[in-house]
Amino acid sequence: LGLAAFGSTALPLAGCQVRSAAMLDGSDERNPLAVPPLNRGLIEQGVRTFRLSVTAGEKEFVPGTASQTIGIEAPYLGPTLDMRRGERVRFHIDNQLSEDVTVHWHGFELPAAADGGPHQVIRPGKRWSPSYEVRQRASLYWCHSHLHGRSGPQVYAGLAAPIYVRDDEEERLGLPSEYGVDDIPLIVQDRVIDGSGRIIYPLNMRTRMMGVKGDALYVNGTRNALFEARTGQVRLRILNGSNARFYTFSLEGNRSMQLVASDGGLLASAHSVRSVILAPGERAQVVIDLSDGRPLRLLAHRPGNTMGMMGGRGRGMMGSRETRGGDVVPILDIRPTGSFAAAQLPADLVSLPPPDPSLAALTRRFVLAMGMMGRGMSINGATMDMNVVNTRVPVGQWEIWEIVNASMMAHPFHIHNVQFRVLDRDGKAPPPMETGFKDTVIVHSREQVRLLLRFEEHTDPDLPYMYHCHILEHEDAGMMGQFVVI
């Protein structure tokens, strides 16, 4: 793999090698992909109601050795929560752990009291019952721990689950949508495995700065996963559920995929792409074609572990789109059980007028910075303080949020309670992947990204929402701020 076309720009992947599963594990064995069970809740008095317990569990990341984990209705991770746009949902979440947790609905517009951020702590043995109306477009969302200072270790231990929102607009298109058959969620995570085969969460001066990154890659908790496809088209809903690692996903042999959706829903049309880059918190949906009966292999390119910041050649390795080094790891084999009739995606998906910056009443600037040794993680010079509201935003006002990365590594910037549009990156139009609705956006080192957004919820003027870096070790170290919608 000397030169591969990655995304819209052809990037040389110097020093990149495709490592085989055999080289990683000493075996060629593939394991059936775990697909989280679908949980539709129950309709109670017209409200879709989910009863979920957060529990301690055990999982073998390496066969024969159990690790201590956290899960939602499962030993590790949780079910896919299935809901529809326009309906009201309610959750009864029981914390059966001996530590505090929170459960945040990533990507949702909702009342602050239901957000599940650092202010909605569920104490051990207690129940939390938030309720909200699903306003989101059909897409893949997710929920995860957002406990102040402890999101990193809790998500790492498994406190996260995928959410499907469906709507009429999407269903009319006839995209692959039979759950577990031709529509599968892929939660991609990396884990550090110690000598005994257990996962460990190594928090130290270096990982506080770089984030915790492991060498072992899992999809829905499965290593070297295999999926047997019974259809000619399969929709993969990919979530980067890792704490800190960015990935470039591609298909072996440089085969193309049809990119149909980003974080907050479908794009205006499908884009044929050879790769998709996702930072922690980001999602993408691709439709792959298996009609010729050939097996496919999904690869994850992991950037190298060393940062370019010491070299000082402009943008560092982590901060650059020209990611060099690292390696390419097969994470999922897709084996068709036969050959199938070729199918065509509709030419147009949804109507998505380009964002209009002239709507904005004002521009707010957010400067991301980090000091040495993982200290001094800040936004606009302030480190997260639960008692300080950093920003007050009038409800319903269009605004431009200009995110400036003054640090030497890239940060995925995430905003609660909104789906925004990306206006530009350093003045240049965003790539296809960023032309739809998003809630998390990569901001490279020394880059400036402009977002157009508007908050529509106005229910708890005193309760803050968060904006933060979605590298969980950075979030935990305080690269987070609070805003209220007034």
Neighbours of 133 (CB within 10 A): 17
Question: Position of tokens 């206006």?
Answer: 423
Is residue 411 a contact point for Cu ion (CB under 5 A)?
yes
Among 416, 425, 450, 474, binds ligand C2O (CB under 6 A): 416
Is residue 106 a contact point for ligand C2O (CB under 6 A)?
yes
Is residue 414 a contact point for ligand C2O (CB under 6 A)?
yes
Partner whose footprint covers residue 468, from ligand C2O, Cu ion, none (CB < 5 to 8 Å by kind): ligand C2O
Alpha helices by DSSP H, listed for 183-311, are: 205-210
In whole angstroms, the minimum distance from the beta carbon of 414 to ligand C2O comes to 5
Torsion of CA 409, 415, 421, 422, to 10 degrees: -10
Provide φ and ψ at 274, rounded to 5°.
-105, -10
Q: Is the dihedral of CA 275, 280, 284, 287 positive or negative?
A: positive
Report strand pairing: 378-379 vs 362-369.
antiparallel
In whole angstroms, the minimum distance from the beta carbon of 104 to Cu ion comes to 5
Instruction: Output the DSSP codes for 291-302.
Output: TT---EEEEEEE
Residue closer to Cu ion by CB (options 213, 297) is: 213
Provide φ and ψ at 45, rounded to 5°.
50, 45
Residue closer to Cu ion by CB (options 173, 369) is: 369
Among 48, 59, 85, 106, binds Cu ion (CB under 5 A): 106
Per CB under 6 A, which of residues 12..51 are in contact with ligand C2O? none
Contact 420, 467 (CB under 8 A): no
Residues in the interface with Cu ion (CB under 5 A) total 6
Per DSSP, what are the bridge partners of residue 70? Answer: 56
Per CB under 5 A, which of residues 459..478 are in contact with Cu ion? 469, 471, 474
Binding characters for Cu ion, 66-105, by CB under 5 A (x = yes): ----------------------------------------
In whole angstroms, the minimum distance from the beta carbon of 42 to ligand C2O comes to 26
Per CB under 6 A, which of residues 359..378 are in contact with ligand C2O? none
Torsion of CA 316, 318, 321, 322, to 10 degrees: 60
R_g over Cα of the chain:
21
Residue closer to ligand C2O by CB (options 167, 282) is: 282
Q: What is the distance between the alpha carbons of residues 71 and 210, in angstroms, rounded to a whole number?
A: 26
Which run of H or E residues covers position 473?
Answer: helix 472-476
Q: What is the distance between the alpha carbons of residues 114 and 470, in angstroms, rounded to a whole number?
A: 20
Partner whose footprint covers residue 474, from ligand C2O, Cu ion, none (CB < 5 to 8 Å by kind): Cu ion
Binding characters for ligand C2O, 146-185, by CB under 6 A (x = yes): x---------------------------------------
The distance of Cα 209 from the centroid of its chain, to the nearest Å, equals 20
Among 48, 59, 85, 104, binds ligand C2O (CB under 6 A): 104
| Positions that interact with Cu ion (CB under 5 A) | 106, 411, 416, 469, 471, 474
The site for ligand C2O (CB under 6 A) is made up of: 104, 106, 144, 146, 281, 414, 416, 466, 468, 470
